[in-house]
């Protein structure tokens, strides 16, 4: 197992986070969503594993519904086929909008992408950290994070779930909660040597 995957809706700040995690500066942000269909691999030089940035899913302006579906199918297939190599997953969400988006997309016969992905990773027994990004835009921090826990089926308060819920502000390089949570998962798998 030598791979950490990043998944999330487009525009949540995945590329920004990737740049912070890897320390590389060559990635461009704000690129047209949905274009990068193939996973990209990067080395986190300090450790013996790599990050894989999977394409963004969910709504993207200018991208057809069937293309969005195809992207999601690709992501699911990639994760299923590589589950044995995946150390951990980072599900990136936008702290400002995630609860509203989840609530808006929850109906009797469908569950929102983020929640679906969270359960899917759990089923595959891939340790998952939800990186709650853009916390600089969130005022009622604890309340918002508790609501998110609730929507993900985790019993609040969120502070009980520090290995799962990691509030960050990737744009400012404030990602220590995520790094701590990831380190805990790697430690549990004996990978912090």
Q: List contacts with ligand GDP (CB under 6 A).
A: 8, 10-16, 29-30, 33, 56, 133-134, 136-137, 169-171
Q: Are 152 and 130 spatial neighbours (Cβ–Cβ below 8 Å)?
A: yes
Backbone angles phi, psi at 97, to 5 degrees: -120, -10
Q: Between residues 49 and 57, which has the closer beta carbon with respect to ligand GDP? A: 57
Query: Which letter does DSSP use for residue 130 in this model?
Result: E
- Minimum distance between the CB of residue 155 and ligand GDP, rounded to whole angstroms? 27
Would you tell me the crossing angle of helices 176-188 and 14-22 to the nearest 10 degrees? Answer: 70
- Minimum distance between the CB of residue 140 and ligand GDP, rounded to whole angstroms? 16
Alpha carbons 178 and 182: distance in angstroms, whole number: 6
- Minimum distance between the CB of residue 8 and ligand GDP, rounded to whole angstroms? 6
Alpha carbons 148 and 150: distance in angstroms, whole number: 5
Q: Between residues 74 and 156, which has the closer beta carbon with respect to ligand GDP? A: 74
SS3 of residue 132 by DSSP: strand
Q: Between residues 85 and 136, which has the closer beta carbon with respect to ligand GDP? A: 136
- Minimum distance between the CB of residue 135 and ligand GDP, rounded to whole angstroms? 7
- Minimum distance between the CB of residue 13 and ligand GDP, rounded to whole angstroms? 3
SS3 of residue 6 by DSSP: strand
Residue nearest to ligand GDP (CB): 13
For residue 155, the Cα-to-chain-centroid distance in whole angstroms is 20
- Minimum distance between the CB of residue 100 and ligand GDP, rounded to whole angstroms? 16
Q: Which two tokens stand for residue 187?
A: 């430690």
Q: Between residues 8 and 112, which has the closer beta carbon with respect to ligand GDP? A: 8
Q: Between residues 71 and 170, which has the closer beta carbon with respect to ligand GDP? A: 170
Q: What is the 3-state secondary structure (H, E, C) of 134-164?
A: CHHHCCCHHHHHHHHHHHCCCCCCHHHHCCC
Q: Between residues 61 and 107, which has the closer beta carbon with respect to ligand GDP? A: 61
């Amino acid at each position: 197992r030598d791979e950490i995957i990043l998944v999330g809706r487009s525009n949540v700040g995945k590329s920004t986070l990737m740049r912070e995690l890897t320390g590389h500066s060559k990635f461009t942000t704000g690129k047209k969503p949905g274009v990068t269909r193939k996973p990209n691999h990067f080395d986190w030089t300090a450790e013996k594993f790599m990050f894989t940035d999977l394409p963004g899913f969910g709504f993207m302006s200018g991208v057809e519904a069937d293309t969005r579906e195809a992207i999601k199918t690709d992501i699911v297939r990639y994760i299923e086929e590589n589950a044995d190599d995946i150390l951990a997953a980072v599900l990136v969400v936008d702290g400002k909008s995630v609860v509203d988006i989840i609530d808006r997309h929850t109906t009797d016969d469908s569950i929102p992408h983020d929640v679906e992905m969270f359960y899917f990773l759990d089923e595959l027994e891939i340790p998952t950290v939800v990186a709650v990004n853009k916390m600089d835009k969130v005022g009622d921090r604890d309340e918002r994070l508790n609501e998110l826990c609730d929507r993900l089926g985790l019993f609040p308060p969120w502070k009980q779930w520090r290995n799962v819920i990691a509030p960050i502000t990737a744009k400012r390089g404030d990602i220590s909660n995520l790094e701590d949570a990831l380190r805990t998962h790697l430690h549990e798998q004996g990978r912090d040597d």
